[in-house]
Amino acid sequence: MPSAGILVIGNEILSGKVVDTNSPFLCRELRALGVDVERIHVIPDVIETIAQDVREMSERHEFVFTSGGVGPTHDDLTMDGVALAFRQPLELNKSVAERIERAQGHPPNKSQLKMAFLPSGAVLLDAGDLWFPVIVVKNVYIFPGIPELFRKKFLSVRDRFRGVPFQLKRVYLMQRESDIAHYLNETLSEFPDLLMGSYPRTGEGTYHVMVTLESRDPAYLGRALDALLARLPAEAVQKVE
């Protein structure tokens, strides 16, 4: 199954001035599509750092997604970093320059024109009703950091990444994690390809632990769920979703 790396670029994320919401959104979307997100890196606006991470992620994963650093200001350096990663020059892309001009009704100024300089060989994907396209360099998909634009652009091209999606079951338990851990271990021994997570809940609530079971094979998931429920005391199970 395809794997992905996510690269969140921006000093504002590392300083805590802005909270990253793009990578959680992307993780959920890719999971539903059947793509395994294997790593998320948050890095500063430094060309060499961007280049190193882009190059390494590109070699390790089928897909790389970047967030941030594509605007008109001095600290928007993602295109420079991607160009350096693949040793490709930045070139004025006439199609992007024309899109900018059409969008604002007059020729772009120097700062706006900065957004039209792309790594040589970049591919443009129309992004729904947005005037600015999704930029693709090799297997690297370059997105803006603004959450609304990030989401709209990704949703416009999401079907490109469709694989075999995970199926998910949730079991809510009234017992403590330490009381049911051996049931989970036994189930994993019987179903070694199952992905299982155990998430305790602190404080007052309707349950103490949520256990998640995931597989791309619905029949395998069903058998694993049945096996776990058969092991658990009936009074321990609050509900199954």
Helix (H, G, I), strand (E, B) or coil at 69: coil
Compute CA distances 54 → 29, 71, 90, 140, 165, whole Å: 21, 18, 16, 8, 26
Mean pLDDT of 43-67: 98
Pick the CATH number of 167-240 from 3.30.70.2860, 3.40.1190.20, 1.10.10.410, 3.30.420.40: 3.30.70.2860
Q: CATH 3.40.980.10 in the chain: give the residue spans.
A: 3-161
Q: Phi and psi (nearest 5°) for 221? A: -60, -40
pLDDT in tens, 119-152: 999 999 987 777 889 999 999 999 999 999 999 9
Q: How many residues does the chain have?
A: 241
Token reading at 42: 């948050």
Q: Supply the pLDDT for residue 126.
A: 86
According to the CATH classification, is domain 3-161 in 3.40.980.10?
Answer: yes
Q: CATH 3.30.70.2860 in the chain: give the residue spans.
A: 167-240
Is the Cβ–Cβ distance between 209 and 177 less than 8 Å? yes
pLDDT in tens, 6-35: 999 999 999 999 999 999 999 999 999 999
Write down the mean pLDDT value for the chain. Answer: 94
pTM: 0.83
Q: Supply the pLDDT for residue 131.
A: 81
* Distance, CA of 119 to CA of 153 (rounded, Å): 19
Torsion angle in degrees (nearest 10) through CA of 192, 195, 201, 206: -90
Residue 166 has pLDDT above 90, yes or no: no
Q: Supply the pLDDT for residue 81.
A: 98
Residue 204 has pLDDT above 70, yes or no: no
Nearest C-alpha neighbor of 69 from the set 13, 25, 26, 19: 13
* Residue appearing with tokens 């609304």: 148
Beta strands at 209-215 and 195-200: parallel, antiparallel or unpaired: antiparallel
Band (165; pLDDT cuts 50, 70, 90) = confident
pLDDT in tens, 87-121: 999 999 999 999 999 988 999 999 999 999 999 99
